[in-house]
């Protein structure tokens, strides 16, 4: 029998290695911000057993994946959308239609783009690599990210992209960690935003658990 779809205790989020898996961080942050009770289970990446372990919970062979009874929700953005529907009080999308459209648009851009930034500055929460990965292509991606942030923050007044924390912030949070890890130069507006994201309880919890996994 499927779990009660509104029972938060039925939620199990399977994620990849926490200090490396940027995709996994995103729905984790959404769940924490929504106040959801959920179990988070890490599947270590790059091990001989990784593929088998992921396939056991997700037929696509990828993490993250949210499991609730016989429901399997794959893909970071799809999971965040489902969390927004489960916990409407959290207002994980902006209330106003135009702002909601903008939030969805930049979230989709983050989801589908910035390949050079991902390739040259992969997320790593346990190392400090200033100057590494500063290829022209990655820096062009970083410049586009910062333009997105400045425009959104100018409209909303901050401290998050649309005033309060939304899925858009969850989608861009791993980029905030990249900018810190690789020492990307930020203006005052973007530096304040990065500091704000990295000070959220959701990110602090994620990083704490990431460090604990590393021992």
7 Ramachandran zone, left/alpha/beta (phi>0; psi -120 to 50): beta
What confidence tens digit (pLDDT) does each residue in 49-104 have?
999 999 999 999 999 999 999 999 999 999 999 999 999 999 999 999 999 999 99
Count of beta carbons in the 10 Å neighbourhood of residue 184? 24
Q: Are residues 114 and 197 in the same domain?
A: yes
Per-residue pLDDT, 2: 37
Domain assignment of residue 58, given as a range? 8-90
54 Ramachandran zone, left/alpha/beta (phi>0; psi -120 to 50): alpha
Q: Are residues 85 and 110 in the same domain?
A: no
Please say which residue of 31, 63, 90 terminates a domain.
90
What confidence tens digit (pLDDT) does each residue in 115-158 have?
999 999 999 999 999 999 999 999 999 999 999 999 999 999 99
Number of domains in the chain: 2
Q: Residue 189: which of 167, 159, 155 has the closest Cα?
A: 159
Per-residue pLDDT, 214: 82
Q: Are residues 72 and 116 in the same domain?
A: no
């Amino acid at each position: 029998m499927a779990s009660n779809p509104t029972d938060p205790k039925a939620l199990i989020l399977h994620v990849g290695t926490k200090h490396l898996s940027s995709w996994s961080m995103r729905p984790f942050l959404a769940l924490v911000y929504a106040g959801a009770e959920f179990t988070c289970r890490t599947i270590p990446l790059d091990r001989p057993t990784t593929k088998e372990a992921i396939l056991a919970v997700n037929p696509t062979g990828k993490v993250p994946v949210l499991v609730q009874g016989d429901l399997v929700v794959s893909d970071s953005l799809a999971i965040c959308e489902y969390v927004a529907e489960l916990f409407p009080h959290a207002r994980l999308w902006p209330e106003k239609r135009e702002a909601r459209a903008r939030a969805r648009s930049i979230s989709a851009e983050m989801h589908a783009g910035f390949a050079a930034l991902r390739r040259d500055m992969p997320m790593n929460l346990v190392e400090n690599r200033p100057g590494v990965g500063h290829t022209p292509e990655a820096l062009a991606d970083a410049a586009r990210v910062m333009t997105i942030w400045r425009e959104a923050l100018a409209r909303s007044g901050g401290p998050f992209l649309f005033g309060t924390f939304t899925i858009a912030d969850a989608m861009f949070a791993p980029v905030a960690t990249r900018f810190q890890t690789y020492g990307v130069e930020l203006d005052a507006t973007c530096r304040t935003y990065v500091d704000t994201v990295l000070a959220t309880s959701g990110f602090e919890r994620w990083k704490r658990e990431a460090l604990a996994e590393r021992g």
